[in-house]
Amino acid sequence: MSTATRPTKTIPVAKPFFGVEEEQALVSSLRSGWVSQGPKVSEFEKRFADYVGAQHAVAVSSCTTALHLAMIAAGIKGGDEVICPSLSFIATANCIRYVGALPVFVDIDPLTYNLNPLQVEQAITSRTRAILAVHQIGLPAALKELKAIAEHHGLILLEDAACAIGSEYFGSKIGQPHSLMACFSFHPRKILSTGEGGMITTNSEEVSTRLRRLRQHGMTVSDLARHSSNKVVVESYDEVGYNFRMTDLQAAVGIEQLNRLDDMLARRRHLAKRYTQELSKLNWLITPIEPTGYRHNFQSYMIRLLPERVASRDEIMQRMLDLGISTRRGIMATHFEPPYADRDWNSLLPETIKATAQTLILPLYHLMTEEEQDWVIQSLVESAKG
């Protein structure tokens, strides 16, 4: 890598990519008269299910609402325990609390940052109802091992696949799913973005039917079905539901994002490979791994600093920001936050604690140039020196 010249603009940690196609789709949807949940949502759901290989996909307003509905559809109730990582965005644990259940935090594999199956086995009690696996920043969790544990103990396996669109596990795309349900995010920091939005995939027709009702106030007949009928249809509301719908405006954008997804994934993997080739030469950090059979989508590129060999993570982040480069701390540890500090988890989560203090996310986005990437690498090296 040659010495990079400093770009004149700030380099963000992430940036969504929208083109003319998304703009045209949005205008077309506006002019159609369908701006809430309608035909574009149905089309997006079908296209998404086909892409990941699932039988059903249910669009919702965010991954958080997807996880919330997944908990309800899985029958998780007050007093149940759900095993999950602390090393995850707080929504992972929040969705468990939404239904009155208790998140039980389990430590991670320090190489993959995903749930350690051996630790999961040890955390199961008579109150355990489910395991919520998280595919951290796009690297699949150990689904085969977690599924075997769940089946052995009669538990439900769910996937927080917020970051995992396009990721693969032994030749199968995440979202088929390998569990009862997998939940995706379309937040602007994700590879496929609709601004906000989420998707639940499942192979259960019964589960998908209930999810569709729950997302729309428990309504037994959708607006699209009623307006498309040539007979008067009167719906009923058989259980308490929610307003967790995706709009047709979002879905129209999502369809175009799905059309360009493979190209976006290829670009991210190319840039991630360049990062790894250069950064693996440094003896004070660890680059991401990709175990055999796993395919990372590199929703984020996260390195791990070795504290005994380099300046503190936060000092490096500030120095890089002073140079015009945005970074992000690695993955948060949920058990450090006040709503989850009601129990002393620290002795059970040593790898989680180290990972959250030592990891750093570098800029990575579709339109990032190699010149910008070279500047990030050079600035990281300079900032680490102090």
> What distances in angstroms separate CA 58 from CA 25, 38, 186, 209, one per listed residue?
21, 13, 13, 9
Q: According to the model, what pLDDT value does residue 178 have?
A: 87
User: Is 13 part of a structural domain of the chain?
Assistant: no
Gap between the Cα atoms of 250 and 29, Å rounded: 9
Residue 171: CB atoms within 10 A of its CB come to 7
pLDDT at 134 over 70: yes
- What's the pLDDT score for residue 233? 66
Q: Note the pLDDT tens digit of each residue in 26-78.
A: 999 999 989 999 999 999 999 999 999 999 999 999 999 999 999 999 999 99
Report the C-alpha gap between 174 and 370 in whole angstroms. 29
Question: What CA–CA distance (Å, rounded) separates 76 from 81?
Answer: 8
pLDDT(7) > 70: no
Amino acid letter for position 306: L
Residue 332 and residue 246 share a domain:
no
CA 27 to chain centre: 28
166 and 118 housed in the same domain: yes
Mean pLDDT, residues 268-285: 98
Residue 386: the pLDDT is 67
Task: Please state, in angstroms and rounded to a whole number, the distance separating the CA atoms of residues 183 and 197.
Answer: 11
CA distance 265 to 226: 38
The most distant pair of C-alpha atoms in the chain lies apart, rounded to whole Å, by 73
The CA-to-CA distance between both ends of the chain, in Å, stands at: 22
Q: pLDDT higher for 99 or 229?
A: 99
Residues 178 and 160 in one domain: yes
The per-residue pLDDT for 220 is 78
Which segments of 280-369 does DSSP mark as H helices, in order? 313-322, 350-358
Q: Specify the number of domains making up the chain.
A: 2
Residue 234 pLDDT: 72
Predicted confidence at residue 229, as pLDDT, reads: 64
Same-domain status, 250 and 130: yes
Same domain, 141 and 267: no
Output the pLDDT for position 372: 96
125-161 burial: b if 16+ Cβ within 10 Å, else e: eeebbbbbbbbbbbbbbbbebbbebbeeeebbbbbbb
Confidence label for 177 from pLDDT (cuts 50, 70 and 90)? confident
Q: What is the pTM of this model?
A: 0.94
- Kindly state whether residue 206 falls inside one of the protein's structural domains: yes
DSSP 203: S
| Cβ contact 248:35 at 8 Å | yes
Same domain (yes/no): 73, 172: yes
pLDDT in tens, 207-250: 999 999 999 998 877 776 666 666 776 778 889 999 999 999 99
* 3-state SS class at 94: helix
Count of C-beta atoms within a 10 Å radius of residue 51: 18
What is each CA distance from 238 to 65, 175, 221, 275, in whole angstroms?
A: 20, 29, 11, 53
What distance in Å separates the CA atoms of residue 36 and residue 254, rounded to the nearest whole number? 14
Three-state SS at 247: coil
How many other C-beta atoms are found inside a 10 Å radius of the C-beta of residue 216? 22
Tell me which H or E stretch contains 221. Answer: none
Domain-terminating residue out of 215, 233, 259: 259
Q: Same domain for 28 and 68?
A: yes
Whether the pLDDT of residue 5 is over 80: the answer is no
Segment 284-313, tens digit of pLDDT: 999 999 999 999 999 999 999 999 888 899
Catalytic residues: 190
Q: Which residues contact 214 (CB under 8 A, 6 or more apart)?
A: 69, 72, 73, 239, 241, 242, 244
Residue environment code for 178-209, b if the CB has 16+ CB neighbours within 10 A, otherwise e: bbbbbbbbbbebbbbbbebbbbbbbbeeebbe
Q: For residues 365-369, give the mean pLDDT.
A: 97
For 81-96, write each residue's pLDDT tens digit. 999 999 999 999 999 9
Picking from 201, 233, 259, the residue at the C-terminal end of a domain is 259
- Among residues 241, 259, 277, the one where a domain terminates is 259
For residue 107, is pLDDT > 90?
yes
Same domain, 220 and 337: no
Give me the domain span that covers residue 266.
Answer: 262-385
Cα 169 from Cα 150, distance rounded (Å): 18
Q: Which residues of 78-110 are buried (b: 16+ CB within 10 A; e: fewer)?
A: eebbbbbbbbbbbbbbbbbbbbebbbbbbbbbe
